[in-house]
Amino acid sequence: MAFTENTISDLHITNQHISKQLPTLPLLSPNAMKHIIITLCFLTFASFCLAQKNKQASAAPYYPGHTWQKKLPAEVGLDAAQLQAAVDFAIANEVKNPRSMEQNHYQTFGKEPFGDAIGPMKDRGAPTGVIIKNGYIVAEWGEPHRPDMSHSVTKSFLSTTIGLAYDKGLIKSIDDTVYHYVPPVHLYTPLEIGNKADQFGQAHMLDLFATPNNKKITWNDLLRQTSDWQGTLWGKPDWADRPSANAAEWLTRARHTPGTVYEYNDTRVNVLALAALNVWRKPLPQVLKENIMDEMGASTTWRWYGYDNSFIVMDGAIVQSVSGGGHWGGGMIINAYDMARFGYLTLRKGKWQNKQLISEQWINWSTTPTPAQIGYGFMNFFLNTDGKYLPSAPTTAFTHIGNGTNMIYVDREHDIVAVVRWIDNKALDGFVNTLLKAIR
């Protein structure tokens, strides 16, 4: 606001008015009065700005430290009875699959061609969960400190390591072809007793992107599961994961142009993990620990595993390439609190306290619908774009999902993160519906 002679006149403040009301005050010149009024206005404006700044500071989102603060439901605008109903719903709808992950595997994915488990498996616990509102824990149940297999929630951690590589300039563009970043890979194969001549003519290196179609694949294609990568990795052919009912086309079908067709496929997810390892030139669990988990104050109990045969030789060291889930074992074994921290990081668009751990641009890309499948962003961001995935949730909500079912529900509209473990997949929307009814 500009102060002029007219402003002073409009205020109808004169020496005479003041002298009549306060006869003890000395008469002031018009110039002096002008400076006094400008000073008072400036001090008033400065006080207003300071108050606004303090108000904004007090409204800054809460982030947990080593200890995660709890609040009563009523303190954050939730109905306690309805919130308990959501917890009860999650417990009552425990998935019927065996708690033995090995037994469960051979009743499901283990029936696929080459379906043997080749990574570690861990029996799961009871239904478990944590609900976060406005950053505070408002409900928890089961065994939230217990590390369990998270299955394909691992994919969200994997795509995060790609995002970190992009943010650091190791990957220049997500539309770059991966072929130009990844050299032929030296697989670690311990010496076997026998005649070396028996191995004559066998490939000593694995070239992931040597075929004409594979050379066209971009980072974006792999992240969105639209690559149609062709080949075998860690003993698992691409066609053997959720194979077509028509066995005649397993080896013969025409390949799709990368980026045009969505197909959820764990062999190709593992290709992305191996490509990321070669870009970083160090184990991905170490990348995640240093850049994300430690920064969020995660526990020391999470682990990220690969397979018994997924070791390579890189820069003179033997390094394990991790898996993007528990399809054949391995993947992220983690507790519910650490899952909630990760969900809260994505709710806050990659920011933790005053530090941007992963760029907001990356989170925005992660939650942008894939043209070939609008319910999917980057792995493993499942989107509610058309409201069909979770009819009870806002269309802006998304989840990090893994078999089990393991779900991290992220709802920016209501400032809610909910970790729900070992719930029947058909009950996900019922849980969300019950939970959102608790908002008052």
| 3-state SS, residue 327 | strand
- CB contact set of 27 (below 8 Å; sequence gap of 6+): 15, 19
More confident residue, 21 or 253: 253
Give the model's confidence band at 200: pLDDT under 50 very low, under 70 low, under 90 confident, else very high: confident
Residue spans of the domains in the chain: they are 5-55, 73-436
Least confident range of 104-113, 115-124, 189-198? 189-198
DSSP 8-state symbol, 334? E
CA dist 95 and 425 (Å) reads: 8
Q: According to the model, what pLDDT value does residue 3 have?
A: 37
Structure confidence at residue 36 (pLDDT) = 67
For residue 207, the model assigns a pLDDT of: 96
> Which residues have CB under 8 Å from 300's CB, separation 6+?
none
Q: Which of 29-38, 194-203, 427-436 is predicted with the least confidence, judged by mean pLDDT?
A: 29-38
Looking at the DSSP bridge assignments, the partners of residue 381 are 400
Give the residue-averaged pLDDT of 9-38: 52
Distance CA 3, CA 35 (A): 10
pLDDT at 300 over 50: yes
Stretch 351-380: mean pLDDT: 98
Q: What pLDDT sits at residue 197?
A: 77
Could you give the CA distance from residue 383 to residue 380 in angstroms, rounded to a whole number? 9
* SS3 category, 419: strand
pLDDT (average), residues 144-157: 98
Q: What is the pLDDT of residue 203?
A: 79
The per-residue pLDDT for 1 is 42
- CA distances for 8 relative to 18, 29, 48, 85, 423, angstroms: 14, 13, 22, 64, 70
Q: What is the pLDDT of residue 195?
A: 76
CA 225 to chain centre: 16
352 or 54, higher pLDDT: 352
Q: How confident is the model at residue 289 (pLDDT cuts 50, 70, 90)?
A: very high
**pLDDT value of position 15:** 44
Mean pLDDT, rounded, for 339-350: 98
439: helix, strand or coil: strand
73-436: CATH architecture: 3-Layer(aba) Sandwich (3.40)
